[in-house]
Amino acid sequence: MTVENLRIGVFVCDCGSNIAGAVDTEELREYAETLPGVVASIRNKYTCADPGQQEIQTAIRENNLNRVVVASCSPTSYEVIFRGCVEGAGLNPYLLEMANIREHCSWVTPGDREAATRKAKGIVKVAVARSHWLYPQDEEQVPVTDAALVIGGGVSGIQAALDLADAGHPVFLVEKQPSIGGIMAQLDKVYPDIECSI
Ligand code: SF4
């Protein structure tokens, strides 16, 4: 998609003082507005809360957005929620990009507002650029064999096999040596109990 056809909305989250305490989020919002393809730049107090999500959905409809960038926390926290949010406004859920300005910026750049704001701008700039290359994705369900193959019967392999089995999956553990245990099995005693290793 060419930049002319892009209609990107950027949503900058304060996260209360978690982000706004370290980053000038208004300056960041204004900066995001200048980035190629951005047609709306909005600041929310708590983007993941209902009012924040409603603002995203309203902005998608009012501005006919075709990409959404949320500048907030780690995607591991709320990416799934934001995908559902944009989908609720009629946008493919994979046309969402996240910029982690909390764990990667405000939390780790304390006491220097200027440096933190500069860093946040860089993170948002990259996320907006990445969003240019997003394409709609369809989710499909395919049949899989519910079983795991673990290659290597060292300590890591044994533990992985046990964890998978505990999770209820059949496990096949393959080891090229005649016995399992790997390097661990060659040790005499192990720290801290000074017990036999096997
Ligand atoms: S989206 Fe993340 S950064 Fe924003 S308020 Fe929620 S938890 Fe905080």
- Residues near 187 by Cβ (< 8 Å), separated by ≥ 6? 197
The whole-number pLDDT of residue 131 equals 98
Nearest residue to 37 via CA among 16, 57, 8: 8
The percentage of residues in the chain with a pLDDT greater than 70, rounded to a whole number, is 98
Residue 190 pairs in a beta bridge with 195
Q: What are phi and psi of 96, to 5 degrees?
A: -115, 135
Average pLDDT for the chain: 95
- Cα 73 to Cα 65, 119, 144, distances in angstroms: 22, 14, 33
Q: For the chain, where do the domains classified as CATH 3.40.50 start and end?
A: 3-131
* Mean pLDDT on 156-175: 97
* Mean pLDDT on 35-41: 98
pTM: 0.78
Nearest CA to ligand 1 atom 1: 48
Q: What is the pLDDT of residues 79-130, one digit of tens each?
A: 999 999 999 999 999 999 999 999 999 999 989 999 999 999 999 999 999 9
Residue 3 has pLDDT above 80, yes or no: no
**Could you tell me if 10 and 35 are in contact, meaning their C-beta atoms sit under 8 angstroms apart?**
yes
Residue 70 pairs in a beta bridge with 11, 98
- 30/18 Cα distance (integer angstroms): 19
- 53/188 Cα distance (integer angstroms): 58
- In angstroms, what is the span from residue 173 Cα to ligand 1's centroid? 41
Q: What is the pLDDT of residues 130-149, one digit of tens each?
A: 999 999 999 999 999 999 99
- In angstroms, what is the span from residue 149 Cα to ligand 1's centroid? 38
Token pair of 181 as six digits: 């245990």
Q: What is the pLDDT of residues 10-35, one digit of tens each?
A: 999 999 999 999 999 999 999 999 99
- 198/191 Cα distance (integer angstroms): 13
Nearest atom in ligand 1 to the alpha carbon of residue 16 is 5
Ligand 1 pocket by C-beta < 6 Å: which residues? 13, 15, 18-19, 46-48, 72-73, 77-78, 102
pLDDT band at 198 (very low <50, low <70, confident <90, very high): low
- In angstroms, what is the span from residue 171 Cα to ligand 1's centroid? 39
- In angstroms, what is the span from residue 181 Cα to ligand 1's centroid? 44
CATH topology of domain 3-131: Rossmann fold (3.40.50)
- In angstroms, what is the span from residue 30 Cα to ligand 1's centroid? 19
